Amino acid sequence: MRRAIVLVISSVLSLAVATPAYAASTVDYVALGDSYSSGVGAPGQSGTCLRSNTSYAAQWAARNDPASFQFLACGGATTDDVRTSQVPAMRAGADLVSITIGGNDAGFAPTILTCLTSSDSACAAKVAEGRAYVANTLPAELDATYDAIRAKAPDARVVVLSYPLIFDTSSILCEMSVAKRRSLNEGARVLDEMIKQRAEAAGFVYSEVRDEFTGHGVCSSRPWLNGLTIIPPQNSYHPNGSGYTSGYLPAFSGAA
């Protein structure tokens, strides 16, 4: 029953994406953030920032024809990168800003690597290390980043998107054990909760993508995220084309 409800909601959201609720031709849109905003994992990545036209940001701009579109999101970006490189590059007068950020600060890549190559207990310990960072250090980093965005675009609607839970935990056969998958998903949930808390404290709009990705994690029958990928390696554990089109794009469109 839950799956049927999710499918119905997804269909409704798809229709909403296809028919914009407003004319965006006067909107100046800026896409900030990390690999989940630049489009890593999808076809057509290019440049040092690995930006793709299949990213939710580029798709939204193509469908809504804003007055201007600055695609500043960059694979591997941290909160510090957003503050020192991306925000200064923003043109004045942005009306709409989107961002995913915080995952690299919390150690996304080294945590995944540890869980791939080590024991269940080592994976859990590495996730716990990241959770401690999220609880103790990340809040101030997010606050400073959100303050910088607001200072540069004081009148913009800023949409902060979450990260999905990467793994399906119901399947037996997978590249990671169930214990590792649960540890990583719980780490992602804790990260998302902190991002939500700080985004709302900043007066920004928080958009949760976990509902859109329900049933589409790595090792599910219809994954919207890449599993371990050898060529190109950066695609590992990032959304695929379906993840950006059917997951992130509706989540952003509904909040923009």
Q: What is the pTM of this model?
A: 0.89
pLDDT (0 to 100) of residue 2: 41
pLDDT (0 to 100) of residue 23: 52
Active-site annotation, residues: 35, 238
Q: How far apart are CA 212 and CA 10, in angstroms?
A: 7
Give the residues across from 158 on adjacent strands: 97
Question: Two tokens at 152?
Answer: 């540069």
- Topology of 2-253 in CATH? Rossmann fold (3.40.50)
| Cβ atoms 12, 248 nearer than 8 A | no
pLDDT (0 to 100) of residue 24: 64
Sole residue written with tokens 């590495």: 126
Residues 6+ apart with CB under 8 A from 79: 101, 102, 105, 138, 141, 142, 144, 145
pLDDT (0 to 100) of residue 22: 46
Query: In which element (H, E) is residue 145 found?
Result: helix 138-152
pLDDT (0 to 100) of residue 4: 40
Torsion of CA 102, 106, 107, 111, to 10 degrees: -120
C-alpha pair distances (Å), 136 with each of 99, 154, 171:
22, 28, 34
pLDDT (0 to 100) of residue 19: 41
| Cβ atoms 75, 38 nearer than 8 A | yes
pLDDT (0 to 100) of residue 92: 87
What is the mean pLDDT of each successive set of 10 residues along the chain, which is 256 residues long? 39 40 76 98 97 98 97 98 98 95 98 98 98 98 98 97 98 96 98 98 98 97 97 97 98 98
| Cβ atoms 146, 97 nearer than 8 A | no
pLDDT (0 to 100) of residue 198: 98
